[in-house]
């Protein structure tokens, strides 16, 4: 795959999701009344013949028509035109270009906008024709098979639902088309004839858009989304040649120095490999996937790995969490790592706090809100991996960081106002700035053991060295949690490169 240019870009498209969803919702309303009228017609029909099919076609033509869609299309096309224009003007201002729109150009803008509105009305006509054809086909198929009126009605309902899905695709695709056409018009008005493709680089980015990210184009026919695929989220930014500043000597990145040669060597090699892949790919999620697995594991292979490995090792996940496990876990943890661990059981609960029980190999996971389940699971599964495989390595890394920062033990309440629900304060060693909670340790698997060790370490923090073979930490759990998504991976890498490399080396099994 060609190497994309470096291009500052958001994780998601600048096109407002809220407005796209509103547009799709408005478009989906168009066929609903048609379905009700068709069902009513079928309920009263004794036979289904060409006359009934003709009446159904008339209903579709009336209910899904340009007249009914015109108001919706005019409102949202104008909205996305304004948003695209405003986005382009902001991009130009960043480069010192102020766009003044002469009267004659404003007229041309209106002509382009009206053409876009008419294009979308043609698409709605196409939606109507498409529905009529599908309904006629389904009815004839049902008649040939001698189906009842109820069965024929079910066929109609299925076809109209297909129409709703199509309307949603139209709303998403055409809103992006209008947005980008408005941006292109503004760039042309400013005398800029080239622009760069800007993809929303995340796990949903398709190979077509990924390959075009950062490339320069000048032909309007190459404008996203019609140059890629429906539901495209890409946009464009102006290509403005800039004078190259004098090259400054690159500041060398600090090498990992835990003091343990084995750990330092593995972290250095892992980081070197990761940074080469990241330079080629540009995405943290995909680069982590490649480094952990030695190749890019796609969705199909991830699902196969889940069925073969993870399904046996992780029991009891909710439906929402299973979807994350099925599609993402193989891209975060090498299968050989899980195969070395004992199975873990998940107990779902509605409230309280999530925690890991090492004696029962059990994760108690709070399921609400749904969007936090994946992050909470990664955190608690990090505890499981530390207990099962990596107690020695994590303790070595943890103590090296503690020594480097002078054995400073602080109350988490002082560090970032943290307290447990039952009111007892927590303590952590300083040096884990990306997340102070990562500096916490546990002196045993039971509370009585932990507090006995904690009292001794509070009296003399250097005594933590005596419990090297006994303690567990929050290093791996907090680190694995930071591998949740593109943004959190990037944050960990930029704020604690050493910890990022250590967690990555654990997840791909370098210490096994």
Q: Per-domain residue ranges for the chain?
A: 17-190, 261-507
The pLDDT assigned to 459 comes to: 93
What does the pLDDT profile of the chain (512 residues) look like in tens digits?
A: 334 444 444 445 677 777 788 887 777 776 666 777 877 887 777 776 778 777 887 887 777 666 777 778 888 888 888 888 888 888 888 777 876 655 444 555 666 777 677 767 676 667 677 777 777 788 778 877 777 777 877 787 777 665 666 677 777 788 888 888 888 888 887 888 888 888 876 667 787 887 888 888 988 888 888 767 777 878 888 887 765 555 555 555 566 667 788 888 999 999 999 999 998 888 898 899 999 999 988 878 888 888 888 778 899 999 889 888 888 899 999 999 988 999 999 999 988 889 999 999 999 999 888 889 999 999 999 999 999 999 999 999 999 999 989 999 988 877 666 555 444 568 899 998 888 889 999 998 888 888 899 999 999 999 999 999 999 999 999 999 999 988 899 999 999 999 999 999 999 999 98
Q: What is the distance between the alpha carbons of residues 92 and 453, in angstroms, rounded to a whole number?
A: 61
The per-residue pLDDT for 292 is: 94
The runs of H, that is alpha helices, within 145-220 are: 149-189, 207-212
Structure tokens at 36: 């009700």
pLDDT at position 243:
58
What is the torsional sign of CA 39, 41, 44, 45? negative
Q: Which helix (H) or strand (E) holds 429?
A: strand 427-429
**What is the residue whose two structure tokens read 């102006």?**
238
CA atoms of 248 and 352, how far apart (whole Å) = 53
Per the rule left: phi > 0, alpha: psi between -120 and 50, beta: everything else, 86 is alpha
Q: Where are the beta strands (DSSP E) in 270-334?
A: 314-315
What's the rounded Cα separation, in Å, for the pair 448 and 440? 16
């Amino acid at each position: 795959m060609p190497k994309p240019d470096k291009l500052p870009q958001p994780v998601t498209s600048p096109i407002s999701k809220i407005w796209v969803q509103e547009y799709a919702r408005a478009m989906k309303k168009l066929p609903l009344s048609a379905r009700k009228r068709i069902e009513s017609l079928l309920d009263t029909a004794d036979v289904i013949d060409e006359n009934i099919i003709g009446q159904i076609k008339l209903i579709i033509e009336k209910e899904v028509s340009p007249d009914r869609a015109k108001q919706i299309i005019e409102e949202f096309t104008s909205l996305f035109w304004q948003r695209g224009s405003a986005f382009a003007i902001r991009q130009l201002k960043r480069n010192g270009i102020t766009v003044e729109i002469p009267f004659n150009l404003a007229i041309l803008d209106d002509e382009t906008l009206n053409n876009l509105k008419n294009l979308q009305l043609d698409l709605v006509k196409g939606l109507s024709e498409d529905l009529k054809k599908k309904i006629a086909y389904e009815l004839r198929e049902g008649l040939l098979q001698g189906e009842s009126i109820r069965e024929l009605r079910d066929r109609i309902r299925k076809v109209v639902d297909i129409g709703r899905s199509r309307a949603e695709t139209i709303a998403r695709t055409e809103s992006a088309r209008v947005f980008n056409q408005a941006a292109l018009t503004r760039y042309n008005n400013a005398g800029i004839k080239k622009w760069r493709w800007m993809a929303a680089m995340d796990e949903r980015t398709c190979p077509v858009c990924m390959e075009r990210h950062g490339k320069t184009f000048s032909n309007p026919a190459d404008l996203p989304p019609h140059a890629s695929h429906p539901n495209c989220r890409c946009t464009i930014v102006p290509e403005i040649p800039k004078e190259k500043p004098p090259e400054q000597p690159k500041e060398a990145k600090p090498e990992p120095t835990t003091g343990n040669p084995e750990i330092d060597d593995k972290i250095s090699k892992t980081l070197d490999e990761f940074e080469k892949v990241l330079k080629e790919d540009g995405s943290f999620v995909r680069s982590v996937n490649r480094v952990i697995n030695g190749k890019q594991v796609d969705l199909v292979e991830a699902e196969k790995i889940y069925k073969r490995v993870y399904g046996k090792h992780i029991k009891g996940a909710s439906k929402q969490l299973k979807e994350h496990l099925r599609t993402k876990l193989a891209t975060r943890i090498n299968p050989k790592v899980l195969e070395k661990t004992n199975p873990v059981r998940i107990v779902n609960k509605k409230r309280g706090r999530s925690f890991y029980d090492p004696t029962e190999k059990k994760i108690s996971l709070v399921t609400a809100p749904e969007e936090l389940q994946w992050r909470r699971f990664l955190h608690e599964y990090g505890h499981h991996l530390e207990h099962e495989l990596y107690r020695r390595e994590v303790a070595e890394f943890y103590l090296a960081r503690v020594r480097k920062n002078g054995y400073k033990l602080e109350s988490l309440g002082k560090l970032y106002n943290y307290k447990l629900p039952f009111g007892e304060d927590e303590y952590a060693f300083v040096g884990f700035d990306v997340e102070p909670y990562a500096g916490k340790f546990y002196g045993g698997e039971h509370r009585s053991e932990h507090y006995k060790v904690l009292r001794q370490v509070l009296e003399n923090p250097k005594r933590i060295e005596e419990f090297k073979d006994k303690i567990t930490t929050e290093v791996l759990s907090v680190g694995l949690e930071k591998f949740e998504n593109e943004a959190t991976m990037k944050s960990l890498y930029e704020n604690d490169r050493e910890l990022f490399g250590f967690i990555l080396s654990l997840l791909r099994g370098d210490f096994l």
